[in-house]
Homo-oligomer: A and B are copies of this chain.
């Protein structure tokens, strides 16, 4: 069947829900299904309304259930009972969010942050000594990186680890209040140990941030020199005991330095396989990328749950009867409701396909299959971009779904509010989204610069001229005028333009390139010698740079969605998914329409047809909305929302039956409105009779 035939055949396009479900489950489908099955059980799911203390104890108990189910050891070495399966481990872990985000994050603290810090920053000796206890939960632990004074800027933390060659110990110290470790899961109550990040100082030299294994609690609580404070109640994730820690000259053995990237000999000599302190720091922090990868997946899973509940309800719930006397409209038939839910559904599909690619990239790097410097950098950038977009999107989707279900959406048992409260912090932890996007933006700028690094001046000059010509052409609006001439009067031509994959790619790519180019051009003239001036110049473009990074992330999602279409074998499914991909692309272009117009990428005529065309696509997708959410594959044991279990339909049937019987009976009251209308009609008839 040709592309054209496929597109024409829209009337009977149907989705193969099972096949689409399998496609969404992706490469680690079996592990994902196993984790989902576990997440749906009574033993690990959240209990709404538990007080903070009870919630913490329940989640801690649930961690043991995870251990017993073999759900959390996949990332660890085979010889210690793990599977060396990095992608699978994340796939399994992120599905836990549907049980209770507190469980997901507490597990993430224990095995993702604390455990994997020992795994990735430590060496064989550390693995053998501590990983078994970490894996079995014998040693609950904290990941002590963030301080009160420094979260995003980890390099500037204040905690010190000073080597004392006389005793062959490191002395961990918190020099001032702002250097207290802060927001650490497991630090409030359960943690027995911590991986503590501190400035490593030996022989009078500060070698920068390194990680140290420190015992923080025994049966009597904190040992001398260690103190802490419970962070208490939070906006969500109250199943986790976040807290603060501080150290007053706490001595630990030299061997407790997790020394994969930096060692200190007995006499205090420092050495590292990575010469540059800057690169060393980023390499150490790079091992933590899995947190971002898993948050991207978990946030996307939460969006799926929200949409599955809200679309199911919108397909049952009715309100107002504009088009008929007796039957009210289903919410999903309102254009505004379609506008609220379907573009978010499209975005969630894009996020899901993009996450699958991110997970593959992650697995490649962490398994060692594709582990060049460039791979690592790409992974970092990819994860930073996707984590930022999907965590913000989850909050937005959960909220819109909550509102789309009205007051019922606000009742705790319908899930939205607690999920949203828990996921709130996802947008600022494991890298604040704005800071992450700025990193993505800087990488884009660097890449932009590197394109020309090895070219000689002549080529560069030609490029600049060409680039400048393009800018001038776009800005003068000549390109859009040309479009206008081609389009005049034809909405169909315009629709054909917008649904063309190559055009979507060109529009989305062009925006990223042009924005980055504009920033690069603006910063090119600024001297980097005057630090304050260059910082000010950069700051004056910060907002634009973050916007460019967002646009880049959306482009990555579009590419992933488009690649997924190519892998969709069922024709009907591919047809519907193509409309959904088009909605994803075109609502992005709608959101940034000002940019496309003022930079001459779209003509006024074409732009004016865009919203109408999106509405047509929404209308076309509307009958498939239920299939599209059902393909997410979550069962009632995951949704656990009373409004999505069919009760609404039952109530409506009961009400309809009541009114049907009433109308058929003798004692049905007449509406006053009807009486008034009848009286008017009678008066008119009498008047006309009189005339005769």
Contact = CB atoms under 8 A, between A and B. Distances in A.
A411 B231 contact: yes
A661 to B, nearest CB: 10
A179 B655 contact: yes
Given A319-B151, A322-B538, A410 B424 contact: yes
A551 to B, nearest CB: 15
A427 interface: yes
A500 interface: no
B182 A407 contact: yes
Contact of A594 (B153, B156, B597): B597
B651 A177 contact: yes
16 contacts: A48-B233, A151-B406, A156-B320, A156-B328, A177-B651, A177-B654, A182-B407, A183-B407, A204-B669, A232-B413, A233-B413, A234-B412, A235-B417, A336-B434, A407-B425, A594-B596
A452 interface: no
Nearest to A182: B407
A676 interface: yes
Interface in A531-561: 531-532, 535-536, 538-544, 546
Contacts of A277: 671-673, 676
A578 B611 CA distance: 34
A23 interface: no
A314 interface: no
A68 B671 CA distance: 46
Nearest to A530: B323
A446 interface: no
Nearest to A484: B477
Given A233-B413, A475-B604, A544-B611, 16 more contacts: A49-B51, A51-B51, A175-B655, A178-B654, A206-B671, A235-B411, A236-B417, A270-B672, A278-B673, A333-B539, A335-B539, A336-B546, A402-B424, A410-B425, A417-B421, A475-B608
A87 interface: no
A582 B541 CA distance: 21
Contact of A234 (B395, B417, B667): B417
B594 A207 contact: no
Interface in A396-453: 399, 402-403, 406-407, 409-413, 416-418, 420-421, 424-425, 427-429, 432-434, 438
Given A335-B540, A406-B151, A412 B604 contact: no
A546 B334 CA distance: 12
A412 B334 contact: no
- A interface, by DSSP: helix, strand, loop or mixed? helix
Contacts of A151: 319, 406-407
Contact of A334 (B177, B234, B539, B598): B539
A250 interface: no
Interface residues on chain A, size class:
35 or more
Interface stretch (A94-102, A142-150, A360-368): A142-150
B421 A675 contact: no
Contacts of A176: 651, 654-655, 658
Interface string A140-183: 00000010111111001010000000000000000111110011
Interface string A325-349: 0001100011110010000000000
A480 B323 CA distance: 42
A395 B424 CA distance: 13
A178 B657 CA distance: 12
A31 interface: no
Contacts of A191: none
A617 interface: no
Interface string A88-108: 000000000000000000000
A66 to B, nearest CB: 25
